[in-house]
């Protein structure tokens, strides 16, 4: 029996539109549990937070907590077969993972609801009797090392570690948290320590039911879930551990008033201004950091960012609390600098402190707090339902921090206005308390220190209060002021009655100007809408130059709208203008009340577009850095890029665009935009809390603006101008390969994408492919990642290039070169063939049922539903009943059908098999590159030397897109 429902002072606060039921229980072993009952859910989920993390790593065994997190996935006394937990979850439509933070470790999974009981029992064994075998220990140390290898060239990881490094050595914030081969194998051995023995000791000393918090999300009634949880989790031992506590501050006076110059991996310049502050968790209802972050991070007129942007000094700014614990916290302002801003760093810092000074002089404003509070309250009560797996993670983390009545709310509802408290935190953002981290490649050759774990080069100097005061004085005289009141806060949250209860999107009308697809909300009952409009412009991608100019055009539009539309984003109405293959796309998503106001402003900006030369230069610079930084992408991302470039017709290589960009000026864009907009077609999708007549009226307004009137901006497309997305049709029985050296010569990782092309979108073939991928996914991960330890990134995934279906193995490794990985993939397929043939009828049915459940899973919110339908519209397939149709066929499949499919399309040497291996060589395997290229070709193998010659010589699949003249309903 549980200790009882333990009535708390207040009931758990939940959103008004939340129909789920909640209950807090405490088991006899003192495990605190939150039960969630959701009769409408398709997936059940659980998350366990253990109150121990990397701060508790023993000296000289950095990464032990993270390593333990990895080890618990292997096997347990009750379920001794290695990897059986992961296998069970995957085969029953679920997913699982874990993460280690500074003071907690979180484990989580979801699974089809009808398989929840056994999945939960397997999960509980992590905390009851895991095996942690000696054999698994060595393999998983390699996996942790591979994960660390992946992070070594990531600026995010490097700069976080540098901030930790420049802190008190006696505080755990200083530690290296993830671990690697050095800390988990070499160092312990040198000290005569056995890592597995230390691992078991760490588990015994820290994993205790009284310092764990569990959330269980299920379909059944609370009473039934409670009995299940009591039976399964009461055997977790309670060692009466004290929750680890780390008093004191990570930064002493020695680590404050410092300016750290650091060299990043990527192009670009960044300032991180950081102050140690009182953690907001102690005052979450007053929300001092939320209030200050809202103002310092604001982007409207008069804000710090607006001024820096107007000066041409910054392209991004964020502000708020981070790295928070119960004992310490930081307030961070992160500013992305332009090349010109880099030369004005002192004035940028001066303006930041001047804005902080303005906040002090203006006093803490109740109207701003009330506005923020109202926005937060609306957001909480009309929050979209999210995937259960994500929900349980956030709740189990909240359970550590908040009283039970606020487990759902967390810090999301600031409700107590306390100007004195906000003022106290504001006072902590002082020149005496600051740490400034300044990142730029401009510092190469000018640093004198190197951080141990990531090799980041840096230098450090002390800065004084009077010096920062000088920076404030020398900053330009600009008009910094508080934001205006927010006109986008929705006041009409009423739900509109959908006249028709349509199951799928309907085509309201189709003309030479546009097609309008419409889907009223019949499921979610929220005052929100979702709008997608593709401006299909044939001139957008006729050349690399055109594509670059279209990209700058979309970014400039966002730039011009920013200070106005930022208010909409704060109020929960989001927008985006993005480059797409056939033109550009406008997206709006959020509360419907003021959506049309924002849409019409966007349309006006497009119609009246003119180039501001100063902003053009800034946007061109950011785009140039994005292109230049592609070489610092992970090698597997580079391999995926080459794969797409080989397969997708009419795509331009990034390197061509990078070569063109420096030569393009503002006048080129001025000339180009009228041409871009001269021929257009609007493909529109409007969904949610909007009536049919409103939907048509919104598009009428756009058509009137672009196509009508005495001097129309655009004319309708000619039939020959409609875009067609076409994919290279690989030849049956041929294995193609393309090899390239990694673009970053410092990256040791190599990568392989082994792609198998199967068929053009067709329901019966789709379900065979999906079933193969479902069955093979976990087996591939277990063999190639867990057993063979090829690398941390080891994925088998389905692929869909413009309706052409296939699967791809994605593997990144320092252990083997790409050709060696390719051979291991083929060896796996040989091994898997035997497993497939030996699969029992029950196993086959179980996998089919899991896939059926996954396909019939209900959409959680309007955005999720809309993305599915938009995928059908934008892809040209228009199969809105795809899920139901595929389920019907899936239920007819036999075990032999799956074997036949494998033998025809996937099996090594199958006569119909069409495969493409893209190999990217890291510097550890660079010596293999020329040798592999010069290997004699095997029969039925084709080496691709030049991507574009190859693409031009190949037949193409027919396109689903472009048939606007005869839309099928």
Catalytic positions, please? 69, 140
Q: Which two tokens stand for residue 425?
A: 């935190």
The three-class DSSP label of residue 147 is helix
Q: Are 408 and 14 in contact (CB under 8 A)?
A: yes
Q: Nearest 5°: phi and psi at 268? A: 125, 165
Q: Which two tokens stand for residue 176?
A: 């290296």
Strand partners, 750: 813
Rounded to the nearest 10°, the torsion over CA 636, 639, 640, 641 is 120
Q: Where are the alpha helices (DSSP H) in 297-411?
A: 304-310, 339-342, 345-362, 366-381, 388-401
Scan for tokens 């060595």, then name that residue: 138
Scan for tokens 């992070």, then name that residue: 151
Contacts of 470 by beta carbon, 8 Å cutoff, 6+ apart: none
- Cα–Cα distance, 744 to 764 (Å, whole number): 42
Q: Nearest 5°: phi and psi at 184? A: -105, -10
Contacts of 370 by beta carbon, 8 Å cutoff, 6+ apart: 417
Contacts of 114 by beta carbon, 8 Å cutoff, 6+ apart: 853
- Cα–Cα distance, 896 to 841 (Å, whole number): 10
The three-class DSSP label of residue 493 is coil
Q: 811-846 burial, b for 16+ CB within 10 Å, e for fewer?
A: bbbbbbbbbbbbebbbebbeebbeebeebeeeebeb
Strand partners, 688: 520, 529
- Cα–Cα distance, 959 to 761 (Å, whole number): 11
Task: Please say whether the dihedral angle defined by the alpha carbons of residues 620, 623, 629 and 635, taken in this order, is positive or negative.
Answer: negative
Of 456, 510, 535, 413, the C-alpha closest to 156 is: 456
Report DSSP state, residue 957.
Answer: P
Q: Are 207 and 64 in contact (CB under 8 A)?
A: no
- Cα–Cα distance, 962 to 969 (Å, whole number): 15
- Cα–Cα distance, 542 to 650 (Å, whole number): 8
- Cα–Cα distance, 403 to 281 (Å, whole number): 11
CA distances from 771 to 44, 764, 774, 877 (A): 22, 11, 5, 21
Rounded to the nearest 10°, the torsion over CA 491, 492, 495, 497 is -170
Scan for tokens 């058509």, then name that residue: 703
How many helical (H) and strand (E) elements, i.e. helices and strands, does the chain have? 32, 25
Q: How is 856-867 classified by DSSP, letter by letter?
A: TPPP-SHHHHHH
Of 927, 901, 903, 905, the C-alpha closest to 914 is: 905
Kind plus residue range of the DSSP H or E element containing 900:
helix 895-901
Report DSSP state, residue 433.
Answer: G
Q: Are 262 and 457 in contact (CB under 8 A)?
A: yes
- Cα–Cα distance, 645 to 654 (Å, whole number): 9
CA distances from 39 to 47, 70, 217, 220, 858 (A): 19, 33, 10, 6, 12
Report DSSP state, residue 429.
Answer: S
The strand pair at 583-591 and 573-580 is best described as antiparallel
């Amino acid at each position: 029996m549980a200790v009882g429902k333990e009535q708390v002072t207040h009931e758990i606060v939940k959103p008004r539109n939340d129909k789920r039921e909640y209950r807090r229980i405490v088991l006899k072993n003192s495990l605190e549990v939150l039960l969630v009952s959701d009769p409408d859910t398709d997936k059940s989920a659980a998350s366990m937070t253990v109150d121990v993390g990397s701060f508790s790593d023993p000296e000289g065994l950095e990464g032990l907590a993270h390593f333990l997190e990895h080890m618990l996935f292997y096997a347990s006394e009750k379920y001794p077969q290695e990897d059986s937990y992961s296998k069970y979850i995957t085969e029953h439509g679920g997913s699982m993972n874990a993460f280690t933070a500074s003071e907690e470790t979180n484990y989580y999974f979801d699974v089809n609801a009808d398989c929840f009981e056994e999945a939960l029992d397997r999960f509980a064994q992590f905390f009851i009797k895991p095996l942690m075998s000696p054999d698994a220990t060595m393999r998983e140390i390699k996996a942790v090392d591979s994960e660390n290898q992946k992070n070594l060239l990531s600026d995010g990881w490097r700069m976080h570690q540098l901030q930790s490094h420049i802190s008190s050595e006696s505080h755990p914030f200083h530690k290296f948290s993830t671990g690697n081969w050095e800390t988990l194998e070499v160092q312990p051995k040198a000290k005569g320590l056995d890592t597995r023995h230390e691992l078991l000791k760490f588990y015994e000393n820290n994993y205790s039911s009284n310092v764990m918090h569990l959330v269980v999300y299920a379909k059944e009634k609370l009473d039934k879930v409670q009995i299940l949880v009591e039976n399964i989790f009461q055997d977790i031992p309670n060692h009466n551990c004290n929750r680890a506590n780390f008093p004191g501050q990570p930064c002493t006076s020695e680590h404050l008033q410092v300016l750290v110059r650091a060299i990043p991996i990527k192009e670009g310049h960044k300032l991180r201004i950081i102050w140690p502050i009182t953690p907001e968790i102690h005052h979450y209802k007053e929300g001092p950091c939320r209030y200050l972050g809202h103002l310092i991070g604001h982007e409207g007129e008069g804000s710090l960012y607006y001024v820096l942007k107007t000066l041409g000094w910054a392209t991004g700014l964020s502000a708020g609390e981070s790295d928070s614990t119960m004992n310490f916290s930081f307030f961070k302002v992160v500013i992305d600098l332009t090349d010109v801003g880099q030369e004005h760093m002192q004035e940028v810092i001066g303006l930041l402190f001047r804005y902080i000074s303005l906040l002090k002089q203006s006093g803490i404003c109740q109207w701003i707090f009330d506005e923020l509070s109202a926005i937060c309250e609306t957001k909480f009560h009309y929050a979209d339902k999210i995937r259960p797996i994500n929900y349980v993670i956030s709740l189990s983390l909240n359970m550590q921090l908040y009283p039970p009545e606020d487990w759902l709310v967390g810090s999301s509802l600031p409700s107590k206005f306390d100007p004195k408290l906000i003022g106290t935190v504001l006072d902590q953002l002082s020149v005496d308390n600051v740490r400034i981290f300044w990142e730029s490649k401009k510092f190469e050759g000018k640093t004198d220190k190197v951080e141990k774990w990531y090799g980041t080069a840096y230098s450090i100097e002390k800065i004084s209060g009077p010096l920062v005061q000088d920076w404030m004085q020398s900053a330009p005289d600009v008009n910094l002021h508080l934001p205006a009141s927010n006109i986008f806060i929705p006041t009409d949250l009423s739900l509109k009655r959908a006249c028709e209860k349509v199951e799928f999107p309907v085509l309201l009308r189709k003309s030479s100007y546009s097609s309008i697809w419409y889907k009223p909300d019949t499921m979610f009952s929220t005052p929100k809408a979702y709008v997608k409009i593709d401006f299909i412009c044939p001139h957008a991608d006729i050349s690399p130059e055109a594509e670059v100019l279209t990209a700058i055009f979309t970014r400039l539009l966002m730039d011009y709208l920013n200070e106005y539309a930022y208010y909409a984003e704060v109020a929960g109405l989001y927008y985006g203008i993005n480059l797409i293959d056939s033109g550009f796309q406008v997206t709006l998503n959020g509360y419907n009340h003021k959506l049309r106001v924002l849409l019409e402003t966007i349309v006006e900006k497009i119609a009246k577009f003119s180039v501001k030369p100063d902003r053009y230069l800034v946007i061109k610079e950011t785009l140039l850095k994005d292109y230049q930084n592609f070489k610092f992408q992970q090698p597997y991302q580079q391999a995926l890029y080459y794969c797409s470039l080989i397969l997708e017709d009419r795509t331009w290589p990034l390197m061509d665009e990078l070569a063109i960009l420096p030569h393009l000026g503002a006048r080129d864009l001025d000339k180009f935009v009228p041409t871009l907009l001269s021929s257009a077609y609007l493909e529109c999708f409007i969904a949610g809390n909007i009536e049919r007549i409103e939907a048509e009226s919104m598009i009428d307004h756009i058509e009137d603006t672009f196509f009508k009137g005495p001097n129309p901006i655009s004319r309708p497309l000619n039939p020959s101008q409609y875009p067609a997305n076409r994919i290279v049709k690989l030849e049956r029985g041929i294995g193609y390969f393309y090899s390239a050296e990694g673009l970053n010569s410092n990256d040791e990782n190599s990568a392989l994408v082994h792609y198998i092309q199967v068929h053009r979108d067709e329901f019966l073939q789709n379900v065979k492919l999906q079933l193969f991928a479902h069955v093979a996914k976990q087996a591939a991960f277990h063999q190639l990642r867990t057993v063979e330890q090829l690398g941390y990134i080891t994925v088998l995934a389905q692929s869909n290039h413009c309706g052409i279906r296939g699967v791809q193995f994605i593997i990144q490794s320092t252990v083997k070169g790409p050709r060696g990985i390719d051979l291991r993939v083929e060896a796996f397929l040989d091994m898997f063939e035997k497993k497939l043939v030996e699969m029992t009828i029950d196993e086959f049915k179980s996998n089919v049922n899991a896939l059926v459940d996954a396909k019939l899973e209900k959409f959680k919110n309007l955005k999720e539903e809309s993305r599915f339908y938009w995928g059908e519209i934008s892809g040209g397939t228009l199969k809105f009943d795809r899920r139901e149709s595929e389920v019907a066929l899936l239920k007819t499949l036999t075990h032999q059908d799956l074997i036949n499919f494998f033998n025809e399309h996937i099996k090594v040497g199958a006569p119909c098999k069409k495969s493409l291996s893209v190999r990217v060589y890291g510097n550890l395997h660079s010596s293999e590159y020329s040798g592999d290229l010069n290997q004699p070709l095997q029969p039925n193998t084709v080496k691709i030397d030049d991507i574009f010659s190859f693409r031009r010589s190949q037949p193409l699949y027919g396109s689903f897109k472009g048939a606007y003249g005869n839309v099928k309903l």
